[in-house]
Amino acid sequence: MTTDTILDEIQDLNLSYLLLVQRLISEDRASAMFRLKLTEEMADLLATLSAKQLSKLSRTNQLLCRLCYDDPDQLRKLTHNQREQGLSQTHAALLMAAAPAGLTALREG
């Protein structure tokens, strides 16, 4: 895989992610803010970006989204969880709620 191909895929993923973020915010703002760990100001900004602005923002060589699990033990608990399937989603939600902010690239940029 060439560097250009990887960059193209990162940009495609960024645009898909930003479009999903906007859709989540428009459908259920409070839930989106919680799931994406967004402040009111960041949610407002992301919700109002135009298609041109989203496209421009997506054309970076950095992923705008990232795993919300900084601690490998949290990921291990989810992937090696022996609990009932119904409880594993609740467990994942609890771990994600405790994870630090996930849009660091957007907040710093």
Instruction: Report the alpha-carbon distance of residue 34 to residue 28 in Å, rounded.
Output: 10
- Checking 16-22 for CB contacts under 8 A at 24+ apart, the result is 17/64, 17/65, 18/46, 18/49, 18/54, 18/57, 18/58, 18/64, 19/54, 21/46, 22/46, 22/47, 22/49, 22/54
Q: What tens digit of pLDDT does each residue of 3-23 get?
A: 899 999 999 999 999 999 999
Instruction: Report the alpha-carbon distance of residue 101 to residue 67 in Å, rounded.
Output: 10
What is the residue-averaged pLDDT of the chain? 83
The CATH number of whichever domain residue 51 belongs to comes to 1.10.4000.10
Q: What tens digit of pLDDT does each residue of 53-74 get?
A: 999 999 999 999 987 778 888 8
Determine the structural domain holding residue 45 and report its residue range. Answer: 3-108
Does the pLDDT of residue 29 top 60, yes or no? yes
The pLDDT, as a whole number, for residue 53 is 97
What mean pLDDT comes out for the span 89-95? 65
Look at the pTM and tell me if it is higher than 0.75.
Answer: no
Give residue 103's pLDDT band: very low, low, confident or very high (50, 70, 90). Answer: very low
Instruction: Report the alpha-carbon distance of residue 92 to residue 2 in Å, rounded.
Output: 35
**Domain count within the chain:** 1
Contact 78, 48 (CB under 8 A): no
Give residue 108's pLDDT band: very low, low, confident or very high (50, 70, 90). Answer: very low
